[in-house]
Amino acid sequence: MSYLKNNKYISSSNESFRVIRKCSVCGKKAIFINSNKFRVNANGSRIDVWLIYQCKKCKHTYNLTIYERVRKDALSLELYTGFIENDDELARVYGRDKSLFVKNKAEIDLRSGPRY
């Protein structure tokens, strides 16, 4: 079983999901891609974290909520530092996490994303 899992991992692509949504600047549906950057907003002991997506054409941004008003101490220092420093690999991990898009009710471009 673990052997199969490994195989699956090796053959997967690293591509983040793309999102289809109406861009208010372009005035029509557009493709948004992972900017591989986070936005962190601290409010007292609570923080919000977003993964920033950008319209492929005009770079208008769209933020996907990763954490909403969570206690800062609920996150590991490693994770928190990754958000603050825009850790590229961490951004790609979230960009491939389908549950994040489901939670945000974002429409995934079915031609994108990791392949197994």
Q: Determine if 55 is a binding residue for Zn ion (CB under 5 A).
A: yes
- Spell 47-69 as b/e; 16+ CB within 10 A means b: bbbbbbbbbeeeeeebbbebbee
Binds Zn ion (CB under 5 A): choice among 23, 64, 91, 106:
23
Binds Zn ion (CB under 5 A): choice among 7, 9, 14, 26:
26
Which alpha helices (DSSP H) does 1-116 contain, by range?
A: 2-10, 77-84, 88-95, 98-103
The CB-of-40 to Zn ion minimum distance in angstroms stands at: 24
| Closer to Zn ion by Cβ: residue 34 or 83 | 34
Q: Determine if 39 is a binding residue for Zn ion (CB under 5 A).
A: no
Pull the structure tokens for residue 39: 């936005």
Binding residues (CB under 5 A) for Zn ion: these are: 23, 25-26, 30, 55, 57-58, 60
